Amino acid sequence: MSHLGGDLMNTKGLMNYIELIRYGRNITQEDLLEGIISRRQYQRYRNDECYVPLDIVEKLSRKLGVSSRKLVFEFENEEYKQLRKVRSYYDLVLARKLDESEVLEKEIVASTIIDEEKVIDFQSAILLKKFYKGIISIPELLNKQATLINYPDILKNDVITDSEALILGVIQEYSVQDREVIISKLETILVDDKIQINGGNFMAKLQLLFHISKYYGRTMDYSKVIKYCDMGVKICSKHYSYYLLEYFTYYKALALKRLGKINEFENALSRCAMTLLVQGNKQNTDKFEKYFMKDLNMNLYEFMLTYLNTRIER
């Protein structure tokens, strides 16, 4: 019997989406399941206890008045849109653009998230926002984030999801005592490619690389900083993305300077300046201006002007 689980990767999400359509069409669960499967079996699919066979999806689709092909397509499209929306919300919170995040938060709350992992991402981001606003303390933040992913037991798993990796990154950022063991785990799953990425979300890997390279900067292992920053730059180039690129180029520049590789340092710093210019985000650029002054005793805007003039002369 054919199953959809291997292709969709998210049986539970598909069944939740079927429930949304059922509710929207004013069809009772009893009428939907009659002559197809028992309510108990339906709940097993919804609880992700087993994969749903293709013929069952086809029969449920007919009851809903849509083709199974269209149902699956619409589900995957909705799942992807929700993934992007939740991750955009997370990114706004991480960037501390809390006013902007409020608008997106209302949109997400008003909808029904069909993927349980995205619910965890959303809850994690809300906790971070509360912490940034001073509503909860660091111990409360760490305790609640740990509960979301069953930490520290999760470290025993050979494979973790991108949502779990994201929260592990948050925990190590604010808990010095957990930092080394978490980074070791993140580094292992990254090198062995044992992170389960959902929806082709390459940004999860970039977030991992950000935490790892930052950690090795703290421990002054500059060769590893360069190694992981280069991996981040490569992924950004592959996906034509600027996500966290300014950090990868900046951390790499700092590491090169510490190693006395001045020419390479200047090239990496120029790449950072170019990234900030292309992004055109004044708030982010102002933040990096403080980094430049603190770490390098340099004025970022003067460096960017010099960089632009050099490009024009070429």
Q: Look up the CATH number of the domain holding residue 12.
A: 1.10.260.40
Query: Which one-letter amino acid corresponds to residue 262?
Result: I
**Could you give the residue ranges of the DSSP H alpha helices within the chain?**
5-8, 11-24, 29-33, 39-46, 54-64, 68-94, 98-110, 116-132, 138-149, 162-174, 176-191, 202-218, 222-238, 245-258, 262-279, 282-291, 300-313
Tens of each residue's pLDDT in the chain, 314 residues: 344 444 444 677 788 888 888 888 889 989 999 999 898 988 888 877 888 888 888 888 888 888 888 888 888 787 778 888 888 898 889 878 888 899 999 888 866 776 777 889 899 999 999 999 999 999 999 999 999 999 999 999 888 888 888 899 999 999 999 999 999 999 888 877 666 555 456 877 888 899 999 999 999 999 999 999 999 999 999 999 998 999 999 999 999 999 999 999 999 999 999 999 888 888 888 999 999 999 999 999 888 887 676 665 55
Inside any domain, residue 10: yes
Q: How many domains does the chain have?
A: 1
Inside any domain, residue 55: yes
Inside any domain, residue 25: yes
3-class state of residue 242 by DSSP = coil
Report DSSP letters for 45-105, one per residue: HHTTSSPPBHHHHHHHHHHHTS-HHHHHHHHHHHHHHHHHHHHHHHHHHHTT-HHHHHHHH
- pLDDT of res. 195: 60
Burial 88-98 (b: 16+ CB within 10 A, else e): ebbbbbbeeee
- pLDDT of res. 197: 54
Inside any domain, residue 14: yes
- The C-alpha atoms of residue 195 and residue 197 are separated, in whole angstroms, by 6
Inside any domain, residue 272: no
- pLDDT of res. 74: 80
In angstroms and rounded to an integer, the radius of gyration of the C-alpha atoms of the chain is 23
- The C-alpha atoms of residue 226 and residue 222 are separated, in whole angstroms, by 6
Both tokens assigned to 119? 């619910």
- pLDDT of res. 174: 94
Inside any domain, residue 241: no
- pLDDT of res. 221: 97
- pLDDT of res. 294: 95
Burial environment of residue 273 by CB neighbours within 10 A (0 to 12, 13 to 18, 19 or more)? buried
HSE of 76 in the Cβ direction (CA atoms, 13 Å)?
A: 13
Specify which residues 160 forms β-bridges with: 195
HSE of 15 in the Cβ direction (CA atoms, 13 Å)?
A: 25
- pLDDT of res. 7: 42
Query: Which one-letter amino acid corresponds to residue 146?
Result: A
- The C-alpha atoms of residue 36 and residue 77 are separated, in whole angstroms, by 26
Domain range for 35: 5-74
- The C-alpha atoms of residue 171 and residue 144 are separated, in whole angstroms, by 10
Name the packing angle between helices 54-64 and 68-94 (round to 10°). 90
- pLDDT of res. 209: 92
Inside any domain, residue 300: no
Inside any domain, residue 16: yes
